Structure 1
Amino acid sequence: MTGQSVTRIRVGASAAAEAYEVLVGRRILEDPAELHRLIGPHARRVALIHPEALTAVAGRLRAQAEELGCETITLRVPDAEAAKTADVAAHCWQRLGRSGFTRTDVIVGVGGGATTDLAGFVAASWLRGVRWIAVPTTVLAMVDAAVGGKTGINTAEGKNLVGAFHPPAGVLCDLAALDSLPVEDHVSGLAEIIKAGFIADPVILDLIEADPAGARSPRGPQLPELIRRSLQVKADVVARDLKEAGPREILNYGHTLAHAI
């Protein structure tokens, strides 16, 4: 790796999915080793799904994939919820089909939660399921959307009504991506971390209460620990109940009221 401290969180295997790792660290995307490991030796093509604003990040990952001799397909999609539509998914499917994308190939989703939701859904639906890698670039995506296997798109009838449970092969959380995140987006992700504290880990709440200003900063000293603890809460729940048959419903704490608002 880059010499920076890297935390690895294992999301356990179940009858429906293999185990995978979530890596958290600063500048971990600068070292191609983990991406190369996740792509594996058999992929011939790598499709990168990302919004326009993250072209530079996706370009770095594209170059790393090409080091393995892989053909790369760049799929730029709208930002935020505008990406989660049937039309955008259909455009991705069309590009994959024209590129001869097979079951041994890999999709990489780079962006916030909407982008990783879309990328995971495209991966779940193409050839009944191909591998994908999540590269979340917001706090909320790191601690929620990119972990747990829920993927999907929106319809006129509501959010996330079309989707699949399709966990990634791995998740790469580069904390450096948060440095340019707007404050309101950072605080939005912090709310999800606080939720994890209420659900199962009160130490999260203690850390935030001890230094609220630091918690609101992308470079705050406790942010890596807050993200790690929040991820561990979700990983523990998902390992027991991938498809939300019971225990996983605790992760929806607050969602019903929030969606109504």
Structure 2
Amino acid sequence: MNSNALRQKAVQIRMDLLRIIHRAKTGHTGGSLSNTDILTSLYYRVMRIDPSNPKLPDRDRFIASKGHSVESLWCILADLGFFPKEELFTYSQFGTRLIGHPNNKVPGIEMNTGALGHGLAISVGMALASKRDGLGYRVFCLMGDGEQAEGSVWEAAMAGAHYKLDNLVGIVDRNRLQISGSTEEVMGLDPLDEKWASFGWHVVTVDGNDVDALVSAFEAVPAASGKPTLVMANTVKGKGVSFAENVPHWHHHVPSDEELDRALAELSAALESLRQEGEKG
């Protein structure tokens, strides 16, 4: 996909995730909206994956360490054909596979995740296995910024640098909000980029809602031989829905009927604008 097609796809995914959250009456809306451009860039442009063969031995791996923001991931996997798209509307219903965190009974999900602080350690093991087995796959791990307060993140960071895992990419969805407020008020993180660099990682800071910047960062891996890469993706929580952007309340707010209609109208207008831009070439 070119950049315009990626931007269009991200808008469509945002519309889908809002619909399934509204229908289920549960979900983590703000974080799923903020991470959509990251996931869209990875799944539609960067990662080596095959929905018809989800266990391909040399596939790239994605670990959603911030597993509570799973709705965007479910919508992307359905759109790509890992499972039927109509199954999306069973999200968080009784007996569904599509629960509120990644579930590895679903094709395309590598590990059950969501207990914050665990995903990077899992990813370090996978990246090390790739090196030792000579398979050459890359491992991408998406973390929340509130998650950076977990000590296990930094143990994994040390291990990733120690084993020189230049096939490992950590991504921080740096939207600066967590369930209880601003990350800097709950547990100050800055200068977060310098902390990661001091642990031996190659750090790239990008606009995490700019698909071109994200693709450039991801496609450059390995950006520094013998070093894992940390992409500091500065995002807007609630991105794409004007009245949800940077509003802490939307961390797990379920849109009302009226809010859903307003949000879909905004996103439909954005999609039409992108389509017109694409036609102009």
Structure-1-length-normalised TM-score: 0.37
Name whichever structure is richer in strand by fraction.
Answer: 1
Q: Which gives a bigger RCO, structure 1 or 2 (Cα 8 Å, sep 6+)?
A: 2
